[in-house]
A and B are shown apart, each in its own frame.
Chain A
Amino acid sequence: MNGTTTVSVIPGTATRPSRAGAGVWWFPLLVAIALAAFVLELAIGAVRIPIGDVVTILLGGQGEQVTWSRIVLSFRLPRALNALISGAALGASGLVLQTLFRNPLADPFVLGIMHGARLGVAVLVVATGVAGVAFTQRFGEIGTWTLSAAAALGAIGVLLLMLAVARRVTTVTLLIVGLLIGYVCIGLISALLHFVDEVQARAFEQWEGGSFDGITSEQLLLMAPLLAAGLGLAYLLAKPLNALQLSEAYAGSMGVHVTRVRVLTFVCIGLLVGPVTAFCGAIPFLGLVAAHVARGVLQRSDHRVLLPAAALAGATLALVTDLVIHLPWAKHFLHLDAVIGMIGAPVALWVILRRKQMRALEL
């Protein structure tokens, strides 16, 4: 791995031999887009606040109206920070999973990790509802922290299942196991939700609708170190992941302990995806798109470069999509998953179709 003419053999992610530094100019471009989106996130929303007042509020002053300070500091700023760090975490997790499974379709949503989180919340909602007292009198005592804990437990449960299987099967089989666990979770959620009433269903839907909104400073303070640890661990795994791209046999011959790397990768994914899913709900597709954007624009396969790029692409995509959602639409209400699809899919397609080997790919 000299970082100059590397060729990935992950199906669907193959790159042309390229000059060292090719595509690196994308870094400042993505940073600029992310920075612009972050600023616009603070300046634009359903309530029109003059940019001068936004700046005044951010500098510690008071806006013209008393609600403006609260909107900027308690609504928009935490949301933008959340999009930044959660997007980065999902982007990095998408890349790591695609490399581990050597599959361009792998991401936390596809592999059932987010469905595990959804199942955790569904079980909590149903169990509380059938405990003998009307759910609506109990839900208030549960609160967002308990829902988040249930989501994290669900996600970790799926990861532990996959870990248990990981020691016994090949990577391809493990991918199929992940897909099937996801389908089982989807089925169980559907069955469980037949037993809930309107208010219980509302509680589930309130958690489930993936969004960077509604995060508190306490939750951000909890998430930030976990996500930082996940990103740090991912970076430490960069070299083994580079070796795994070629094949597990090759990685083994290079001295990589494949099973240990798998376990550490799952721990990494747990740190990256668990907190995001717990506090933001299920956010599909973002990890997958960010990973492809990173591979596509850099045309390199060194994870020491790809990981920061995927994190940056994820953060940028999260900020831009969140900005689109919160533009002052008059009659429409857009949801994050739809906007990620609308913006992320064309970007990923454009990146993929630029590459001859991707166009020729037969999966």
Chain B
Amino acid sequence: VQVPVKRVVLAKPEFADTIAQLGMADRLVGVSSINAIAVAPILERYRRGEVVEVGSGTHSAIEMALAVDPEVVFTFYSAFADSNTHPKLWDVGITGVPLADHFEPTPLGRSEWIKFVALFVNGERTADTMFAGLRARYEQLREVAAGVSTRPPVIVGWANSRQEWALNGGHNYFARMVADAGGRYVWDSPSMRSLDLADIEQIFHLSFDSEAWVGNQLGYRTLSSLVGSNDRLRHFGPVLRQQVFDNDGGRLPSGATPIANESLTRPDAVLADLIRILHPGLLAEPDLTYYRELPP
């Protein structure tokens, strides 16, 4: 790849704010789905017709990507080989670059992927500055939470089907973030993956004493509608205690959520939300940025 690249397609929305913060928005010519984008400069380029939707993972997506003639396509890296798009892109002569930030064991390690993306536009200095700032803010918050006297148990994820629960592995970056926020992640698996599957009765048992359920795009407006989707959830400890939070704060009418675009560039803000959820009153500013408490 000849850097700096001038035409980029982003098929991993988690990096949308990274692209904007690195000053790459004007090089962006395609995204996998505009409904996953909540970053203003990218939405504006889409409205002007300078960014197109290319889809993801399908033959049509590859044809669409070919049509916009990108120098690089940033894609989601999957542990399941058949689910990856980058080999298919390579086959047709496009430089597909898989991004595997979601496998990182620490939140700051995950944010360092900003530096990798910056290499494609010679933006190392900008990335270093960004990373130094977010690291300082993150570590400051972590020190605040390190002094808590109790570590409330926390469950994350969602009911993925009638029988299974999907959640971050016990050694995934999000488990570390829960610990950094002064919580105890109850799913103690050795996995670094962003998606472990567990039997729902096991999660019920583990989470019964959990102070909070920190959901990931649960898709329900209220606790009653959440229970309406799966009756057994009514027995879960955090549901009984009405301590369920979803990261859909600031959702746009399209369905896009800011956290899905900004969690790499603002891990400190995500950490602050978790501290506010687990230790109310510990931070001066009480309002949540990305999370929302589900009302009854």
**Is B228 among interface residues, defined by CB-CB distance under 8 A?**
yes
**Is A281 among interface residues, defined by CB-CB distance under 8 A?**
yes
Most chain A CB within a 10 A radius of its CB, from B55, B162, B231: B162
Most chain A CB within a 10 A radius of its CB, from B33, B228, B252: B228
Cβ B232 vs Cβ A140 within 8 A: no
Interface members, chain A 265-298 (any B CB < 8 Å) = 280-281
Given the known interface contacts A71-B201, A214-B163, the answer about A143 and B219 at a Cβ–Cβ threshold of 8 Å is no
Which residues on the A side are within 8 Å of B150 (C-beta)? Answer: none
**Is B229 among interface residues, defined by CB-CB distance under 8 A?**
yes
Point out the residue from B159, B226, B231, B254 that lies within 8 Å of A134, measured CB to CB.
Answer: B254
**Is A141 among interface residues, defined by CB-CB distance under 8 A?**
yes
Interface members, chain B 182-213 (any A CB < 8 Å) = 197-202, 204-205, 208
Given the known interface contacts A199-B255, A214-B162, the answer about A333 and B197 at a Cβ–Cβ threshold of 8 Å is yes
Interface members, chain A 8-51 (any B CB < 8 Å) = 45-47
Cβ A199 vs Cβ B229 within 8 A: no
Which residues on the A side are within 8 Å of B232 (C-beta)? Answer: 74-75, 214, 216
Q: Which of A86-94, A200-208, A236-244 contacts B (4 or more CB under 8 A)?
A: A200-208
Cβ A47 vs Cβ B205 within 8 A: yes
Cβ B229 vs Cβ A144 within 8 A: yes
Cβ B255 vs Cβ A140 within 8 A: no
Point out the residue from A211, A216, A326 that lies within 8 Å of B161, measured CB to CB.
Answer: A211
CA distance A70 to B254 in the complex (A): 39
Given the known interface contacts A134-B253, A197-B255, the answer about A46 and B202 at a Cβ–Cβ threshold of 8 Å is yes
Cβ A209 vs Cβ B221 within 8 A: no
Which residue of chain B has the shortest Cβ distance to A203 in the bound complex? B219
**Is B222 among interface residues, defined by CB-CB distance under 8 A?**
yes
Cβ B162 vs Cβ A213 within 8 A: yes
**Is A4 among interface residues, defined by CB-CB distance under 8 A?**
no
Given the known interface contacts A47-B201, A70-B235, A76-B201, the answer about A211 and B163 at a Cβ–Cβ threshold of 8 Å is yes
Most chain B CB within a 10 A radius of its CB, from A137, A203, A326: A137
Cβ B221 vs Cβ A66 within 8 A: no
Cβ B222 vs Cβ A140 within 8 A: yes
Total contacting residues, chain B, CB less than 8 A: 40
Which residues on the B side are within 8 Å of A194 (C-beta)? Answer: 55, 58
**Is B116 among interface residues, defined by CB-CB distance under 8 A?**
no
Cβ B162 vs Cβ A67 within 8 A: no
Which residues on the A side are within 8 Å of B106 (C-beta)? Answer: none
Which residues on the B side are within 8 Å of A71 (C-beta)? Answer: 201, 204-205
Cβ A213 vs Cβ B220 within 8 A: no
**Is A139 among interface residues, defined by CB-CB distance under 8 A?**
yes
Cβ B199 vs Cβ A67 within 8 A: no
Cβ B201 vs Cβ A45 within 8 A: yes
Which residues on the A side are within 8 Å of B55 (C-beta)? Answer: 194
Which residues on the A side are within 8 Å of B159 (C-beta)? Answer: 206
**Is B78 among interface residues, defined by CB-CB distance under 8 A?**
no
**Is A135 among interface residues, defined by CB-CB distance under 8 A?**
yes
Which residue of chain A has the shortest Cβ distance to B158 in the bound complex? A202
Point out the residue from B197, B200, B208, B248 that lies within 8 Å of A136, measured CB to CB.
Answer: B248
**Is B251 among interface residues, defined by CB-CB distance under 8 A?**
yes
Residues 118-140 of chain A: 1 if any B CB is under 8 Å from the residue's CB, otherwise 0? 00000000000000011111011
Cβ A47 vs Cβ B219 within 8 A: no
**Is B225 among interface residues, defined by CB-CB distance under 8 A?**
yes
Given the known interface contacts A75-B232, A140-B225, A211-B163, the answer about A199 and B217 at a Cβ–Cβ threshold of 8 Å is yes
Which residues on the B side are within 8 Å of A326 (C-beta)? Answer: 163, 199
**Is B164 among interface residues, defined by CB-CB distance under 8 A?**
yes
Residues 208-252 of chain B: 1 if any A CB is under 8 Å from the residue's CB, otherwise 0? 100000000101111001101111100100000000000010011
Residues 299-329 of chain A: 1 if any B CB is under 8 Å from the residue's CB, otherwise 0? 0000000000000000000000000011000
Interface members, chain A 40-80 (any B CB < 8 Å) = 45-47, 66-67, 70-71, 74-76
Nearest-Cβ distance from residue A213 to partner chain B, whole angstroms: 4
CA distance A45 to B163 in the complex (A): 12
**Is B28 among interface residues, defined by CB-CB distance under 8 A?**
no
Cβ B197 vs Cβ A47 within 8 A: no
29 contacts between A and B (CB under 8 A): A70-B204, A75-B232, A135-B255, A136-B217, A136-B219, A139-B219, A140-B219, A140-B228, A141-B228, A143-B228, A143-B229, A144-B230, A144-B231, A197-B33, A198-B36, A199-B217, A199-B255, A203-B219, A205-B160, A206-B159, A206-B161, A206-B162, A209-B164, A211-B163, A213-B161, A214-B162, A214-B163, A333-B164, A333-B199
The 6 A-B residue pairs with the shortest CB-CB distance, nearest first, are: A140-B225, A214-B162, A46-B199, A140-B220, A143-B228, A46-B202
